[in-house]
């Protein structure tokens, strides 16, 4: 596997243009590399696999695996920067057993900047994202718009413009709930959620 990166072009060429036997062997090599402990090699092998038009089944599997690897790496980065990513129990029974709904929390312990919110876009199974007393709510909007499984977004003590809220409702599922509360209302029960129709 140590020489895998250097051999990738030749293996991909065999998978793309070689005989059936050579192509099958090449795909097998790429699949083996996709399980490498070398994360860069694994991602590169999966990326090459996902582009093989003549192996559509393997390409679909690889594309899904890439997304899973990126989600795991993004969750690691969010945790490292003081955020939290955990199982979203509130929708666990509703989304089905094939998915693992996730809740992302960006709170006062967040040590990253606005640019670090890009990791949100790779948490593809995020069903809830919460911003608690965070200065970066507005900067998160472009990344939140990429999350197609979102059901709830909470902006508590975080400034977000009405235009951004409108964009979220226009571009994300119509069952999305956006709950906004100012710092003064954080201790008050009740929701001023705006639900999409």
Across the strands, what pairs with 195? 177
Q: What is the mean pLDDT of residues 151-158?
A: 92
Q: Which of 46-55, 106-115, 127-136 has the lowest mean pLDDT?
A: 46-55
Q: Which of 96-100, 135-139, 156-160 has the lowest mean pLDDT?
A: 96-100
Structure confidence at residue 3 (pLDDT):
58
Tokens of 90: 């509130």
91 vs 150: CA distance, rounded Å: 10
Residue pair 107/81 in contact by the 8 Å Cβ criterion: no
Residue pair 189/179 in contact by the 8 Å Cβ criterion: no
pLDDT category at 45 given cuts 50, 70, 90 is confident
Q: What is the mean pLDDT of residues 40-67?
A: 86
pLDDT category at 98 given cuts 50, 70, 90 is very low
Structure confidence at residue 23 (pLDDT):
84
Angle at 84 (CA atoms; ends 61, 155), nearest 5 degrees: 105
Structure confidence at residue 121 (pLDDT):
96
Residue with tokens 């509130």: 90
| pLDDT, greater one: 70 or 120 | 120
Structure confidence at residue 196 (pLDDT):
40
115 vs 138: CA distance, rounded Å: 12
Structure confidence at residue 62 (pLDDT):
87
Q: What is the mean pLDDT of the chain?
A: 83
Coil/strand/helix, residue 75: helix
Does residue 59 register a pLDDT over 70? yes
Residues 6+ apart with CB under 8 A from 92: 101
């Amino acid at each position: 596997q140590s020489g895998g990166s250097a051999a990738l072009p030749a293996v991909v060429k065999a998978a793309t243009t070689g005989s059936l036997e050579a192509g099958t062997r090449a795909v097998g090599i790429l699949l083996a590399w996709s399980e490498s402990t070398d994360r860069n090699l694994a991602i590169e092998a999966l990326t090459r696999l996902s582009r093989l038009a003549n192996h559509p089944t393997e390409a679909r599997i690889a594309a899904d695996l890439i997304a899973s690897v990126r989600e795991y790496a993004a969750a690691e980065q969010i945790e490292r920067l003081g955020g939290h990513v955990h199982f979203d129990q509130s929708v666990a029974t509703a989304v089905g057993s094939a998915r693992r709904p996730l809740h992302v929390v960006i709170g006062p312990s967040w040590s990253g900047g606005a640019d670090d919110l890009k990791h949100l876009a790779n948490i593809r199974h995020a069903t809830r994202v919460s911003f608690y007393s965070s200065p970066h709510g507005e900067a998160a909007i472009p990344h939140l718009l990429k999350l197609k499984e979102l059901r709830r977004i909470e902006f508590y003590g975080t400034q977000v413009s009405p235009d951004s809220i409108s964009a979220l409702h226009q571009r994300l599922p119509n069952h999305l709930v956006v709950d906004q509360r100012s710092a003064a209302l954080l201790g008050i029960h009740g929701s001023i959620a705006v639900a999409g129709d």
